[in-house]
Homo-oligomer: A and B are copies of this chain.
């Protein structure tokens, strides 16, 4: 009997916590804030809202609103009102915020470890994880938060990416970001 997948996830979680605690500067920052900041750095313009973060992190919007307020006070994100819908506020990382994300110890260590596995094992690992998450999220009726380009609504129009759900053209750079409206192509 080997350890279960759940056990590995738990262990990785503990390591993530340890790394953050060991970081002199970031140890005072709640982990949820860093998770939210990371999310905002990889999500598209349909998903960079309070509700987007709420759905992604699995918390309540009141809690998330406070965490985002703290991120704004650190000047790691700034708010931008939506032009169409006046209820919506877009949350964008500042340059300082992006710098924090890129210097996260956890990301760097894991990235390096994954690379040491070699391309073949890396492919197997992320491939299996992708499939696993797809199954789970579909089965649980959860939002999948997949990459825009892998969405069933993703189309081409005049050679440019286009969203069939919102009926809007998409910035080319956004097609690799994750979206809260994402649905698997299958």
Q: Show the binding face of A for B, using Cβ within 8 Å.
A: 1-18, 21, 35, 38-39, 42, 56-59, 106-107, 109-111, 113-114, 116-117, 121-122, 124-133, 135-137, 139-140, 142, 145, 147, 176, 178
Contacts and interface: CB of A to CB of B under 8 A. Distances in A.
Contact of A121 (B39, B126, B131, B133): B131
A15 B113 contact: no
B5 A111 contact: yes
Contacts of A6: 106-107, 110-111
A26 to B, nearest CB: 14
Contact of A3 (B18, B126, B135): B126
A116 B135 contact: yes
A35 B12 CA distance: 12
Copies of this subunit: 2
B8 A133 contact: yes
B57 A14 contact: yes
19 contacts: A1-B176, A3-B178, A4-B107, A5-B114, A7-B178, A8-B126, A9-B12, A11-B56, A14-B57, A15-B133, A15-B140, A18-B58, A109-B140, A117-B128, A122-B128, A124-B124, A124-B128, A125-B128, A128-B128
A51 to B, nearest CB: 14
B124 A136 contact: no
Nearest to A59: B17
Given A2-B147, A9-B12, A125-B128, 12 more contacts: A3-B178, A5-B110, A10-B38, A14-B56, A15-B133, A15-B137, A17-B58, A109-B139, A109-B140, A121-B124, A122-B128, A124-B125
